[in-house]
Amino acid sequence: MTTQTAPEGILVTTTSASTQTPPAARPPVTERSADGGSGSGTGSYEPPTPPRPRRLPSPIRPSAFGAEDVFLLVASAFSALCLVWIVFYQLTSLSGGLGFLVAWYFTFLALVWLGTTQLIERQVATDRVVGVVVVSAALLVIGLVLFIVVWVAYKALPSIHWVALFTKDQKNFQVADPNALSQVGILHAIVGTVEQVLIAVAIGVPFAVATAIYLNEVKGFGSRTVRTVVTAMSGTPSVVAGIFIYSMLILTGVLHYSGFAASLALVVILLPSVTRVVEEVLRVVPSGLREASQALGAPEWRTVWSVVLPTARSGVVTAVLLGIARIVGETAPLLFTAFGSQVMNLNAFSHDQASLPLVIWSDVRQAQPVLIDLAFQAAFVLMTLVLILFVLARIFSRPRGRKSGKRRGGNRPAEDDFMARIFVPIPIEESTDR
Amino acid sequence: MAIDLDTPRSEPQHVAPTPITITRDYSTPDRIFRRSVQISGGGVFLLLVAIGSFLAWYGWPAFETAGWGFFTHSGPVTPGSSSGFGVLASLTGTVEVAFVAMLVGAPIAICTALFLSEYAPLKTRPTMIAMIDLAAAIPSIIFGLWAFFELQPNVVGFSTWLSRHASFIPFFKVTSPPLNASIFIAGLVVGIMIVPIVASICREVFSLAPAGEREAALALGASRWQMIRTVVMPFARGGMIGAVMLGLGRALEETIAVSIILGGSYKVTTEILQHGGSTISQLIATNFGSGGELGLHDLLLCGFVLFLLTLVINLAASAIVNRSRSGAGVDL
């Protein structure tokens, strides 16, 4: 299709629609209208054949997306590819796949816009181009996420030595050993991570749930301030959490570098995020339940303990799981608190301890291929851990059973909304019903 | 006060009825419950105060030594002596990394949010939202690994291209090439990392745009983009600004991914494409315990500066987001 005939293409649809109306149907229409104008009363009156419904020309819908439009997209993509290839490699002799891709993408957009302007209309073209941009941005992000997950596995798996990985630490590492990967593992890091995270959860979650209860159930003096503080804290840089614990406890001699100090630093990160999500979950507990409980004479603590928290259980579990997923990969706070170690240290309360992120961080900066491989394997284990936590959190966030799902459905916000929130520093204010 | 029924009501006495005050008498367990919950709430408050005050307390000696030179010098204030340390290079580096990150991340994030709230087919939407949430859950060290081993080799060519053909823009000038380990690459990876944060807030505020107005726009013949431009965007403008600011707060604090990329230097540079540059968090993470010219107090003071910076930005951003969520100040 050339651009010359293109505007007529639109006209063709309108004219063809009107020509499809049979000529025979026309006279009665005009006659009747003439009739109506002059007033009836004269003799030979033919009963008018009922006018056939005229087919309206199909309107231009930007959302209507046919084979032609797909062809336009493909053609633009291809011609952009050719154009950019010529300019990129022949005229300017550039290099780099990324630059090529960027140039290709923008040329592609321009061609789509030009093509659609010629074939259809300018506003449709703008709409189409925005659609292409939006879809490609989202696909880029989603593709990137998938790519990173797969990439970590791809880098880790070929050289992985499963038994050594989960049974050894890095004590026996020798540069010269050709079979070094069977001598080193990350057991010390896994133990360290598990201990630190568990201690952090044991301290942080009750603290966080209590704060959320304070913000949503008790609501006393200063709860507004505390809510603002929680907001502010959820944006606290993780490195600041680390040096805070360092300056408060290690510098003053209360603690030494230890897994416990690391846990405390993790609590600083865990606390605001879990508080915010739990508060949100508590808010959607129907107030009727609370009132019923209190009307039956239950004291406040009993209401919270036996009514509010059980109702919100799945949400609280989700919050905790996502909180764990967040702190399990934190590296910066551990640099100043756990400090990292090459050997196994089972006791989280004394001496330096390793952790998965720390092992990645220290190994990847060595110029040893074996250690870099090990870092990738640690990254793979860490990524798997995060994925498992994430999937578990999603399973728990879903209302279980059809019945309860139906019953709760109306009161709950979209379950997905608080999935991201734990990673996102956004405050939870009084819900404003519009 | 009991109401006296025996008094003859011959004349209307204009006595206002005494309001009954209902006092709630908390039982002891309830009092304990309330008190402990309040204590934990206060604990959060104290924690924030403690973070600020400990960092300020231990950072103060560094400020005493360096004076305002802390903010106006890079590296040692007077070379060769222990007269303090200046953070200017890291401060500008932080701003540059965050700037690049916002330039890359914010448009992608807003487009992603638009896709999730307006374009994505309803059936696959939850899955796609989950993917974006997963992006937020990927640890930053893994982003760092990916950026170092996968992104950087690919970007160097692009950097070369920019430096050759766009060097009329002062930022893209290159005087001492290797083009790896640059602020630009660090900014790129941070930009990718902030996408899920900005996108999830934007998606939320987009989805709050009223359905009636959307349908009105469509009924008047607007295309989808015109509907977004005239209804969704004005409604969500505040939320978008707030979301981008929250992303900025995150970009300023990002530590590990940036530390893997950047080598660190004590030189203020605007040539973001070439080797070098540092950020505050990178400075803290890589110089901690190295016993170099940076004292411990210098690092803690840096931490305090970073803490204040992110605190201000985050509070402002959440205020804006909240305002937008409540729909105030929106004229459609």
Same domain, A240 and A332: yes
Q: Take residue A109 and report the two structure tokens written for it.
A: 């957009």
How many other CB atoms are found less than 10 A from the CB of residue A182?
Answer: 13
Q: Is the dihedral of CA A352, A357, A361, A367 positive or negative?
A: positive
Q: Is A421 on the interface with B (CB under 8 A)?
A: yes
For chain B, how many structural domains are there in total?
A: 1
Residue B76's φ and ψ, nearest 5 degrees, are -60, 135
Distance from CA of B194 to the nearest CA of A (A): 9
**Rg, Å, chain A Cα set:** 33
Best probe of the A interface among B145, B201, B258, by most A CBs < 10 A, is: B145
Cβ-nearest to B33 among A301, A322, A360? A301
pLDDT of residue B77: 65
Same domain, A134 and A192: no
pLDDT of residue A10: 41
Domain closes at, from A100, A124, A139: A139
Instruction: Give the predicted TM-score (pTM) of the model.
Output: 0.80
Tally the C-alpha atoms within 13 A of residue A249's C-alpha that lie toward its C-beta.
21
Q: Which residues contact A12 (CB under 8 A, 6 or more apart)?
A: none
Q: What residues make up the domain containing B103? A: 85-325
Least Cα distance to A205 among A358, A345, A309 occurs for: A309
A280: domain CATH number is: 1.10.3720.10
Task: Check CB contact under 8 Å for A228 and B154.
Answer: no
Q: Do the domain assignments include residue B184?
A: yes
Q: Do the domain assignments include residue B205?
A: yes
Q: Do the domain assignments include residue A122?
A: yes
Nearest-angstrom CA–CA distance, B40 and B194: 31
Q: Take residue A309 and report the two structure tokens written for it.
A: 């928290």
pLDDT of residue B98: 92
Q: Do residues A145 and B138 make contact, with C-beta atoms less than 8 angstroms apart?
A: yes
Task: Check CB contact under 8 Å for A207 and B115.
Answer: no
Task: Check CB contact under 8 Å for B44 and A275.
Answer: yes
Domain closes at, from A81, A106, A139: A139
Q: Do residues B92 and B181 make contact, with C-beta atoms less than 8 angstroms apart?
A: no
B251: domain CATH number is: 1.10.3720.10
Nearest-angstrom CA–CA distance, B147 and B254: 14
Task: Check CB contact under 8 Å for B55 and A236.
Answer: no
Same domain, A294 and A194: yes
Residue of B nearest to A429 (CA): B322
Distance from CA of A269 to the nearest CA of B (A): 11
Q: Do residues A167 and A185 make contact, with C-beta atoms less than 8 angstroms apart?
A: yes
In chain B, which residues have their Cβ closer than 8 Å to the Cβ of A251?
A: 58, 296
Least Cα distance to A326 among B301, B139, B314, B38 occurs for: B139
Across the A/B interface, how many CB contacts are shorter than 8 Å?
A: 337
Q: Do residues A134 and B115 make contact, with C-beta atoms less than 8 angstroms apart?
A: yes
Q: Which residue has the tokens 């803690």?
A: B300
SS3 A282: helix
Length of chain A: 434
Same domain, A275 and A392: yes
Residue-level pLDDT, tens digit, chain A, 434 residues: 333 444 433 433 333 444 444 444 444 444 444 444 444 445 567 777 776 666 655 555 555 667 777 888 888 888 888 888 887 766 665 556 677 788 888 888 888 888 888 887 788 888 888 988 999 999 999 999 999 999 999 988 888 878 777 877 777 777 666 677 777 888 888 888 999 999 999 999 999 999 999 988 888 778 888 888 888 888 888 889 988 998 888 888 888 888 888 999 999 999 998 998 888 888 888 888 989 998 998 888 889 989 998 888 888 888 888 888 888 888 888 888 888 777 777 777 888 888 888 888 888 887 778 888 888 888 999 999 999 988 888 888 776 544 444 444 444 444 455 555 666 655 444 444 33
Q: Do the domain assignments include residue A273?
A: yes
Nearest-angstrom CA–CA distance, A141 and B113: 11
In chain A, which residues have their Cβ closer than 8 Å to the Cβ of B160?
A: 94-96
Burial label, A203 (beta-carbon count in 10 A; 0-12, 13-18, 19+): middle
Q: Which residue has the tokens 């321009």?
A: A110
Residues 17-36 (A) with a CB less than 8 A from some CB of B: none
Q: Do the domain assignments include residue A30?
A: no
Q: Do the domain assignments include residue B46?
A: no
Instruction: Specify the DSSP element, H or E, that contains B87.
Output: strand B85-87
Residue of A nearest to B203 (CA): A417
Chain-centroid distance, C-alpha A217: 30
Strands B74-76 and B85-87: antiparallel
Task: Check CB contact under 8 Å for B107 and A97.
Answer: no
pLDDT of residue A280: 84
Residues 151-180 (A) with a CB less than 8 A from some CB of B: 151-152, 155
Task: Check CB contact under 8 Å for A429 and B111.
Answer: no
In chain A, which residues have their Cβ closer than 8 Å to the Cβ of B132?
A: 141-142, 145, 420
Cβ burial B292-312 (10 Å sphere, 16+ → b, else e): eebbbbbbbbbbbbbbebbbe
pLDDT of residue A148: 92
Same domain, A117 and A192: no
SS3 B181: coil
Q: Do the domain assignments include residue B55?
A: no
Nearest-angstrom CA–CA distance, A212 and A130: 42
Q: Do the domain assignments include residue A44?
A: no
Tally the C-alpha atoms within 13 A of residue A332's C-alpha that lie toward its C-beta.
32
Nearest-angstrom CA–CA distance, B200 and B136: 10
In chain A, which residues have their Cβ closer than 8 Å to the Cβ of B135?
A: 141, 144-145
Which residues, in sequence order, are bridge partners of residue A339? A353
* DSSP conformation class of A339: B
Nearest-angstrom CA–CA distance, B171 and B97: 12
Same domain, A266 and A200: yes
Best probe of the B interface among A318, A331, A382, by most B CBs < 10 A, is: A331
**Rg, Å, chain B Cα set:** 28
How many other CB atoms are found less than 10 A from the CB of residue A17?
Answer: 14
pLDDT of residue B326: 66
Q: Which residues contact A226 (CB under 8 A, 6 or more apart)?
A: A211, A214, A215, B41, B42, B44, B45
Nearest-angstrom CA–CA distance, B258 and B279: 8
Q: What share of chain B is helix, strand, coil (3-state, %, to 5)?
A: 70, 0, 30
Same domain, A251 and A322: yes
Distance from CA of B77 to the nearest CA of A (A): 23
Q: Do the domain assignments include residue A236?
A: yes
Cβ-nearest to B146 among A94, A148, A234? A148
DSSP assignment of A166-203:
HH--STT--TT-TTGGGT---HHHHHHHHHHHHHHHHH
Q: Which ipTM was obtained for this model?
A: 0.84
Q: Do residues B144 and B282 make contact, with C-beta atoms less than 8 angstroms apart?
A: no
Burial label, B84 (beta-carbon count in 10 A; 0-12, 13-18, 19+): buried
* DSSP conformation class of B167: T
- Where chain B has pLDDT below 50, the residues are 331-332
In chain A, which residues have their Cβ closer than 8 Å to the Cβ of B165?
A: 92
How many other CB atoms are found less than 10 A from the CB of residue A407?
Answer: 12
CA B149 to each of CA B107, B143, B219: distance values in angstroms, whole numbers, following the listed order: 25, 10, 51
Same domain, A341 and A264: yes
Nearest-angstrom CA–CA distance, A309 and A213: 9
Q: Do the domain assignments include residue B12?
A: no
Q: What is the 3-state secondary structure (H, E, C) of A366-388?
A: CCCHHHHHHHHHHHHHHHHHHHH
Best probe of the B interface among A87, A142, A239, by most B CBs < 10 A, is: A239
Q: What residues make up the domain containing A112? A: 1-12+64-139
Cβ-nearest to A94 among B161, B199, B253? B161
Q: Is the dihedral of CA B153, B156, B158, B160 positive or negative?
A: negative
Nearest-angstrom CA–CA distance, B239 and A131: 22
Residue B290's φ and ψ, nearest 5 degrees, are -85, -15
Q: Do residues A17 and A55 make contact, with C-beta atoms less than 8 angstroms apart?
A: yes
Q: Which residues contact A156 (CB under 8 A, 6 or more apart)?
A: A373, A376, A377, A379, A380
Q: Which residue has the tokens 């290099």?
A: A95
How many other CB atoms are found less than 10 A from the CB of residue A372?
Answer: 19
Q: Is the dihedral of CA A423, A427, A430, A434 positive or negative?
A: negative
In chain A, which residues have their Cβ closer than 8 Å to the Cβ of B145?
A: 152, 360, 364, 375-376, 379
Q: Do the domain assignments include residue A176?
A: no
Amino acid occupying residue A176: A
Cβ-nearest to B54 among A247, A272, A416? A247
Task: Check CB contact under 8 Å for A239 and B303.
Answer: yes
Same domain, A209 and A135: no
Residue A90's φ and ψ, nearest 5 degrees, are -85, -45
In chain B, which residues have their Cβ closer than 8 Å to the Cβ of A144?
A: 135, 192
Q: Which residues contact A259 (CB under 8 A, 6 or more apart)?
A: A192, A195, A196, A199, A338, A345, A347, A348, A349, A353, A355
For chain A, how many structural domains are there in total?
A: 2
Q: Do the domain assignments include residue B121?
A: yes
Q: Do the domain assignments include residue B129?
A: yes
Q: Is A391 on the interface with B (CB under 8 A)?
A: no
Amino acid occupying residue B220: L
Least Cα distance to A10 among A92, A167, A103, A118 occurs for: A118
Q: Do residues B133 and A420 make contact, with C-beta atoms less than 8 angstroms apart?
A: yes
Cβ-nearest to B285 among A229, A235, A239? A239
Q: Do the domain assignments include residue B187?
A: yes
Q: Which residue has the tokens 């339940």?
A: A289
In chain B, which residues have their Cβ closer than 8 Å to the Cβ of A382?
A: 139, 141-142
Most distant CA pair in chain A, distance: 116
Which residues, in sequence order, are bridge partners of residue B87? B74
Same domain, A108 and A251: no
Same domain, A361 and A270: yes
Task: Check CB contact under 8 Å for A138 and B112.
Answer: yes
